[in-house]
Chains A and B, each alone.
Chain A
Amino acid sequence: MSLVATTPATARPAFLGKVGAGHILLAAALIFYPAVATDFFLTQIGGYSLIFGMIGLSLMILAGYGGMVSLAQITIAGIAGYAVAIFGLNNSNVHGFGWPWWIVAPFAMLLAATASALIGWIAVRTEGIYTIMITLAIATAAFYFAQQNYMIFNGFPGFNGLRAPEFWGVYWRDPVPFYYLCLGCAALAYAAVLYCSRSTFGLTLQAIRDNPRRMRAIGYHVTAHKVFAWFVSGLIAGLAGVLLIWFNGRVSSGTINVAAAINVLVIAVIGGLKHPIGPFLGAVVVVLMQTFAIDIVGAERFNTLIGLVFLVIVFVSPDGILGLWERLKPHLAQDSLRPGP
């Protein structure tokens, strides 16, 4: 895998500069992570962080580039998850049409993206802070609906016994394959978002975020661009949703409850919404906190800790950890320029 990454780099030095040393170091570290990590750190921390990083990334596209803060991202991921359960196989004896995974997974993503575009189409009718309210209302309504409806969503118990696919002789829920599956998907999504942000569409979207009136006056279709951003973000959230459901092996209304919806926002905000790497950083921090806060404050009160950390981040650094880094960097640079003692 590392061979593939380095070959074009040696062939075209410009490519190396374009990708950046930081990215290559990060990729190498992530690729060799399974060599040092235990199974627990591989899936519960690594895979889980990558999945939630992707859901956070889907929010980062909307919030960072589009200026639309959504609380419905977990709902969109959940739609993909429910699609996997309903059209694939499950142990709950409800639905389970048994479609093969290579149809179910893209179909689930597409379904999630379509739902996302619809939610976006509703949400972009109003502006700014209203988006949060509308998406939160949608997320909450979706949660209650999934909880009460037994015909489609099998109500409170949801669906159990969802298995990750087996192909090329590998069961993809085994720790190492699953980690690489998540890493591959996350890298793909991350690269796609970076590419998108510099494309014509990405630049137009950012211009719309900064001044919708002017863009409308120039002749851009503001609503269409925003809705397409929702669609793209829905694809990523849907992909993450499929992975999440393969990881958990189950999906229920609890997967998409309000706490989960807020969790995604917490991840994205703690990490930072200015750059696609932010949500992944935030996911690592939050997942580590959720896993190990139990040892510090007890199993009961870890939500208080996460809430407090979130509050501190919002107060101290609106751009999250990335913002802290940006603020620290000049100081560090100056320190290194200073002559030693």
Chain B
Amino acid sequence: MSLLDQQRASVEGGGFTRRQAWGLFWLLLAAIVAWLIFAVWPAWLNAVLTSKKAFVSAVMNGLTLAGLYFLVASGFTLVFGLMRNVNLAHGSLYLLGAYIGYEVGARTGYWLIGVAAGFVVLAIVGVLMQVLVFRRLEGDDLRQTLVTIGISIVAADLMLAVWGGQTYQLATPEWLDGAVTLPIITAVRSNGASVFLTYPFYRLVVLFAAVVIGVGLWLMLNRTRVGMMIRAGVDDRAMLSASGVNVHAVFAIVFAVGAGLAGFAGVVGGSALSVAPGEDVRYLLASLVVVIVGGMGSITGAAIGALLIGLAEQIGLVYFPTYGVVLTFVIMVVTLAIRPQGIMGKAR
């Protein structure tokens, strides 16, 4: 109801011209990006941005990373939006998923089983956390958050005990290996032949998977009954429970999906990059920033935030290596300054 009112208000009060202006802005931006990617760059642009290959690779890497960040952060944002529970053990879930995927993949020899195991085991862990821990501390946000900190300390230490400090690389199956040539011309040789960009096939698959899962999540949230309950819970938890919905079941589902996605991302990300202690902190930071920037409890926001942060991180890595983190940080601060509730967040 309130959502409808808000939408109507924005259509009537916001004015048509403002929307048109934004539309123009986005069109222009899209055109510039398309030109940057598909056109053959003039010499001056190559001079400014090192080379087209470096730039487009950074963008592609940024997109892949954004896909990973989205997978991790979407669970985080759903859990936060619904339960007001900042799950600071979310990074640990990612790392645990990666280790489990590695073990299962190495033992069975099938990478896909490892991926499935990462999702299923972590979903179960998520439900257990919800039932055993968070349900007991319901209504006390601070204590729930403190508990997740305690869990992350213990989990990090136990994972170190089991898997040690070394770096693992998950082996992907052969059909995912190799590189593909993209229809993107990076340079033209002196003899007139075009040089096309080649890119690891696996990373494209990761990106594709993230998009598919994102769309799936969006459909689940907006087209199914459970999704309706989750959205209602994000808006007003007390009202949802008053209208006869078993809130605990909804919580358990959300926690399972969120933790499962973190585990899934762990296996997929561990195959693209590598698995080592400390990755949990990295992905926790990524989820935090993505969710702060994108807005709590919004899947679309998580996607936008992940895109921004992933691109900023990779482009920053290429053009100003030691200040890449600062760029991420600046994005967060600017978002908080302009829109404290995040890009897609609702003011409370």
Contact = CB atoms under 8 A, between A and B. Distances in A.
A133 B291 contact: yes
A299 B189 CA distance: 60
B157 A303 contact: yes
A318 B336 contact: no
A140 B154 contact: no
Interface in A266-315: 266, 269, 300-301, 303-304, 306-308, 310-311, 314-315
Contact of A126 (B156, B285, B340): B340
B336 A134 contact: yes
Contacts, number: 114
Nearest to A302: B157
Given A122-B333, A129-B86, A148-B324, A311 B151 contact: yes
A144 B341 contact: no
A3 interface: no
Interface in A93-148: 122, 125-126, 128-130, 132-134, 136-138, 140-141, 144-145, 148
Interface residues of A, number: 39
Please report whether the interface of chain A is mostly helix, strand, loop or mixed according to DSSP: helix
A151 B329 CA distance: 18
B153 A141 contact: no
Contacts of A306: 153
Contacts of A315: 136-137, 147
Interface string B147-176: 101111110111011000000000000000
A121 B289 CA distance: 17
Given A137-B288, A307-B153, A315-B147, A125 B336 contact: yes
Given A137-B292, A140-B281, A262-B149, A301 B157 contact: yes
Contacts of B292: 130, 133-134, 137
Interface stretch (B23-31, B105-113, B138-146, B257-265): B138-146
Contacts of A171: none
A69 interface: yes
A149 interface: yes
A129 B288 contact: no
B323 A140 contact: no
Nearest to B149: A262
Contact of A140 (B84, B151, B285): B285
Contacts of A300: 160-161
Interface of A: 69, 122, 125-126, 128-130, 132-134, 136-138, 140-141, 144-145, 148-151, 258-259, 262, 265-266, 269, 300-301, 303-304, 306-308, 310-311, 314-315, 318
Q: Which 9 A-B pairs have the closest CB atoms?
A: A307-B153, A307-B154, A311-B150, A303-B157, A140-B285, A125-B340, A310-B150, A144-B325, A137-B288
Given A136-B288, A137-B329, A262-B152, 18 more contacts: A122-B336, A125-B340, A129-B142, A132-B88, A134-B336, A140-B288, A141-B328, A141-B329, A259-B153, A269-B146, A300-B161, A303-B157, A304-B154, A307-B150, A307-B154, A310-B146, A314-B143, A314-B146
